[in-house]
Chains A and B, each alone.
Chain A
Amino acid sequence: MPMKIGNERFGERVEKGINNSFMRGAVAGAQDNIGARRLNAIEELGNWEEWRSHGEEIRQHVLEHLDYYLEQLSDNVAKRGGNVFFAETAEEANEYIKEVVQSKNAQKVVKSKSMVTEEINLNASLEEVGCQVIETDLGEYILQVDDHDPPSHIVAPALHKNKEQVRDVFTKKLGYKKSADPTELAWHAREMLRQDYLTADVGITGCNFAVAETGSFALVTNEGNADLVTSLPKTQITVMGMERLVPTFEELEVLVSMLTRSAVGQKLPSYVTVLTGPREELDVDGPEDFHLVIVDNGRSKILGTEFQSVLQCIRCAACVNACPVYRHVGGHSYGSIYSGPIGAVLSPLLGGYEDYKELPYASTLCGACSEVCPVKIPLHELLHKHRQVIVEKEGKAPVSEKLLMKAFGLGAASPTLYKWGSKIAPTAMNPFTSEDKITKGPGPLKAWTEVRDFPAPNKERFRDWFKNREKGGGTSWPEPSKTEKHF
């Protein structure tokens, strides 16, 4: 699946999301549940802000010295007998991986969860050459069995599906005969996948973090699927976004701790696996042949720009879990495999404004995302910067809005115009006003009043009240003003 999912327009996607009541219940439940666990996991540390500063400093240092650390990483991988391929584009990455797979005459590939391979649409490219590609993360597996339903969450990809839907998919596609109990479903997947691990020719993984100093890389799972993917097939290919690395083991452990606490509120997940090169000479398990593919695919364009900090991301999805917009529209509304605030910042950068120009506006700039980000990416500020680019450089803002804002610029900056405008407001709004409120507004107010009342402008503006009061001389209480109307 490429980064872009579906061809519907943004409004249609949102409409669909809003009307999917199971999905919304599941998302709200997940946000509340994971959010509480995250809070618990960071509060028990007692100094989370220090951790965040540390995480931020590490990530910034790596980005500033990225060429150096990537060189060091690739040297060390090669020293341990691994092959490294630098891929500028998705196509280059896919071509290389295809070549490796074909050179092994591989029929079957098992994969552990990886966002970057989704981004470059690797599965489709391998399927084209007749390879069977099997996702082994339970969530990804469910989506794959269900005719490649796209993921709706970075960490919990099948969050939008309920267990009955999973059962129906398994029944239809896998001949499953048991109940909708998650344990029975998961154990069925276990049985199916166990055979696949044992018979696969190639294992493909993503990379949570690579370690430059040792040429190692770390995989983080609770299921243990990445471990079987990397121990049983003879060939292993690891695909990493070029920014996902740390200098040494010391930084690795800090970021892994922060990743799992932020993602699911765990101190550590069941499995953190650090792999260095292919198996050693006399080892019995692990791959004989190891390939690391380092993918740019638009990332380098972000370096050196005002958006650079988005590359600090460690894909924990804490921002997704805190976002009040994601909560109501779900992941598919974003039209990208990267959803939520991080998706709204990253998708236009990697995929262009044409497809993703609405995403930066799908935020109230409430700042919940920036607050939870473990590496202090100022996500809401980056969303705001996108808006600025869309207005000023891309010229993609609607004409009516531009005119309105131009008028705003003139009006708001001129006390005379402002005063005149606010003074005539009650009269201008008179035709729309009843009982101190507007229930069917004109122009931009229409969208507002379809859902809510809008207050009628005060007959006496505050500034006039104040002026008159000053003329009347001094303070006018002891009795506080009675509130005449409420919001």
Chain B
Amino acid sequence: MKVTLFATCLVDMFQSDVGKATVELLERLGCEIDFPQTQVCCGQPAYNSGYVKESKDAMKKMIGTFEHAEYIVCPSGSCAYMFHEYQHVFKGDPIWEPKAKKLAAKTYELTQFIIEVLKVENVGACLEGKATYHTSCHMTRLLGVQKAPMTLLSKVKGLEFVELPGKEQCCGFGGTFSVKMAQISEQMVDEKVRHVEETDAEYVIGADAGCLMNIGGRINRQGKPIKVMHIAEILNSR
């Protein structure tokens, strides 16, 4: 099966390991990976800040870049959701709305793709240790992917899973919110880190590089011995 990877800018620039793990995982599951080099940012940072006009060019570029794809897979629930949001942005536009609809219909978040399209629950991963999982808001609420990551994690050999208290609460990332409302964001991420600590987990896992950069950045700053990992890295562990 041919999969076109939408890697996201955070993964491209800061977390290439997540991208690598995604590629290797999907290849092992029998997919052929295509990565269009013309991909840019999905436009979310500007869009969410209210700069809708400014973000439209990026959106059009992305629609063009992925037009040929059969399946688009993205290791980020939030960015994958952004592809689903395009159709609302271009609502009423005779050219771009249909294109955006097509884009949305074939875009999947990584774990969603593995469960819903590949129909695989056990990817053969194996990692010893105690882990908890941060449910990111956009993936859970907006994209509506709730069970897929849990199902996949439950099949990872050696992994002991503990539920994160207050898991429905946002970690305080929110894109530009984290710098624009820094003092509030700090309180939110602090509570998230406290909850992670309460679980005694060695790993806190997530499916969104943004949330993980936020939680991980705070954990590192506080010097806490908790490893923050993307679910692609976990599923690619053997």
Any B CB within 8 A of the CB of A174: no
Within 77-92 of A, Cβ neighbours of B (below 8 Å) are at none
Whether the pair B220, A361 counts as a contact (CB closer than 8 A) is no
Any B CB within 8 A of the CB of A308: no
- Among the stretches B52-60, B96-104, B109-117, B149-157, the one at the interface with A is B52-60
Instruction: Give the contacting residue for B20; candidates A388, A408, A456, A481; CB below 8 A.
Output: A481
Whether the pair B172, A324 counts as a contact (CB closer than 8 A) is yes
Determine the distance from Cα of A364 to Cα of B23 in the docked complex, in whole angstroms. Answer: 30
Any B CB within 8 A of the CB of A466: yes
Any A CB within 8 A of the CB of B228: yes
With a cutoff of 8 Å between Cβ atoms, the chain A residues found around residue B138 in the complex are 365-367
Instruction: Give the contacting residue for B174; candidates A365, A388, A406; CB below 8 A.
Output: A365
Smallest Cβ distance from A387 to chain B, in angstroms?
A: 3
Whether the pair B182, A448 counts as a contact (CB closer than 8 A) is yes
Whether the pair A364, B229 counts as a contact (CB closer than 8 A) is no
Determine the distance from Cα of A127 to Cα of B68 in the docked complex, in whole angstroms. Answer: 70
Whether the pair A453, B184 counts as a contact (CB closer than 8 A) is no
Whether the pair A455, B28 counts as a contact (CB closer than 8 A) is no
> Contact residue range for chain A?
35 or more
Any B CB within 8 A of the CB of A418: yes
Determine the distance from Cα of A370 to Cα of B11 in the docked complex, in whole angstroms. Answer: 29
Instruction: Give the contacting residue for A405; candidates B54, B141, B212, B218; CB below 8 A.
Output: B54
Any A CB within 8 A of the CB of B121: no
B14: nearest chain-A partner, CB-CB? A455
Instruction: Give the contacting residue for B189; candidates A391, A451, A462; CB below 8 A.
Output: A451
Any A CB within 8 A of the CB of B148: no
Any B CB within 8 A of the CB of A304: no
Q: Tally the A-B contacts, defined by beta carbons under 8 Å.
A: 235
Q: A477-B27, A483-B17 are in contact. Are A451 and B186 (CB under 8 A)?
A: yes
B235: nearest chain-A partner, CB-CB? A480
Chain B residues bordering chain A, tally (CB within 8 A): 81
Instruction: Give the contacting residue for A401; candidates B49, B142, B170, B218; CB below 8 A.
Output: B49
Within 411-432 of A, Cβ neighbours of B (below 8 Å) are at 411-415, 418-419, 422, 425
Smallest Cβ distance from A25 to chain B, in angstroms?
A: 12
Taken residue by residue from 455 to 487, chain A's Cβ proximity to chain B (1 for < 8 Å, 0 otherwise) reads as: 111101111011100000001010011011111
- Among the stretches A94-102, A239-247, A291-299, A325-333, the one at the interface with B is A325-333
With a cutoff of 8 Å between Cβ atoms, the chain A residues found around residue B237 in the complex are 480
Taken residue by residue from 46 to 83, chain B's Cβ proximity to chain A (1 for < 8 Å, 0 otherwise) reads as: 10111111110110110000000000000000000000
Whether the pair B172, A409 counts as a contact (CB closer than 8 A) is no
With a cutoff of 8 Å between Cβ atoms, the chain A residues found around residue B220 in the complex are 437, 452-453, 487
Determine the distance from Cα of A370 to Cα of B141 in the docked complex, in whole angstroms. Answer: 9
Determine the distance from Cα of A465 to Cα of B141 in the docked complex, in whole angstroms. Answer: 33
Whether the pair A371, B141 counts as a contact (CB closer than 8 A) is yes
Determine the distance from Cα of A392 to Cα of B50 in the docked complex, in whole angstroms. Answer: 8
With a cutoff of 8 Å between Cβ atoms, the chain A residues found around residue B16 in the complex are 458, 460-462, 465
Smallest Cβ distance from A255 to chain B, in angstroms?
A: 24
Whether the pair B41, A412 counts as a contact (CB closer than 8 A) is yes
B216: nearest chain-A partner, CB-CB? A487
With a cutoff of 8 Å between Cβ atoms, the chain B residues found around residue A367 in the complex are 137-138, 141-142
Taken residue by residue from 1 to 40, chain B's Cβ proximity to chain A (1 for < 8 Å, 0 otherwise) reads as: 0000001010111111101110110011000000101111
Determine the distance from Cα of A327 to Cα of B23 in the docked complex, in whole angstroms. Answer: 39
Any B CB within 8 A of the CB of A64: no
With a cutoff of 8 Å between Cβ atoms, the chain B residues found around residue A447 in the complex are 178-180, 182
Whether the pair B19, A392 counts as a contact (CB closer than 8 A) is no
Whether the pair B188, A409 counts as a contact (CB closer than 8 A) is no
Determine the distance from Cα of A450 to Cα of B52 in the docked complex, in whole angstroms. Answer: 29
Any A CB within 8 A of the CB of B221: yes
Nearest 4 pairs between A and B by C-beta?
A: A364-B174, A487-B216, A387-B50, A452-B217
- B residues near A (Cβ < 8 Å) are 7, 9, 11-17, 19-21, 23-24, 27-28, 35, 37-41, 43, 45-46, 48-55, 57-58, 60-61, 137-138, 141-142, 166, 168-170, 172-175, 177-189, 191, 209, 212-218, 220-221, 227-230, 233, 236-238
Other A-B pairs beyond A387-B48, A409-B51, A409-B53, 11, CB < 8 Å: A328-B187, A364-B170, A408-B54, A422-B9, A447-B180, A453-B216, A458-B16, A463-B37, A465-B20, A486-B228, A487-B217
